[in-house]
Amino acid sequence: MRDPAILEQFVRLAGGPGSPIVVIPTAGGAETYDQSYPGLQAFRDAGVTDLVVLHTTDRDVADSEVFVSPLRRARGVWFPGGRQWRLADAYLDTEVQEALRDVLRRGGVVGSVDVASSAHVTSGWIPSAAS
């Protein structure tokens, strides 16, 4: 992340470094991501201790409760950059999308620094709390 102040604000809005945060790097295009994903280091440097990577390209998996369960307790969800169509292909109209809405309804935060993020909010892909 280029600006640590953005991440610090995100962590603060999510409830602080002890709050559960989910990182969804699917837009990056790798076949797999796990807890060794280098994009987690900035969160660790910010003191985040409850950090989960969530990734699939299989829509059936994205619709499963086992996959979505980390989002059910998340206070923050972060989308690193990449090709945004990969997010739509994997998660649009799945339980993941509904779980993102639930994060916001619970007072959590969904964030990204990617240029296309504003398009996701206005299209409803990353929903507003009112959705």
For tokens 């985040």, the residue is 48
Higher pLDDT, 124 or 87: 87
pLDDT, residue 106, reads: 95
Residue type, 60: D
Across all residues in the chain, what is the average pLDDT?
88
CA dist 34 and 24 (Å) reads 10
| Overall residue count recorded for the chain in this entry | 131
Domain boundaries, the chain: 4-115
- Provide the pLDDT confidence category of residue 1 given band limits of 50, 70 and 90: low
**Pairing status of strand 51-53 against strand 21-23:** parallel
Taking alpha carbons only, the member of 115, 110, 84, 87 closest to residue 22 is 110
CA dist 55 and 75 (Å) reads 18
Architecture of domain 4-115 in CATH?
3-Layer(aba) Sandwich (3.40)
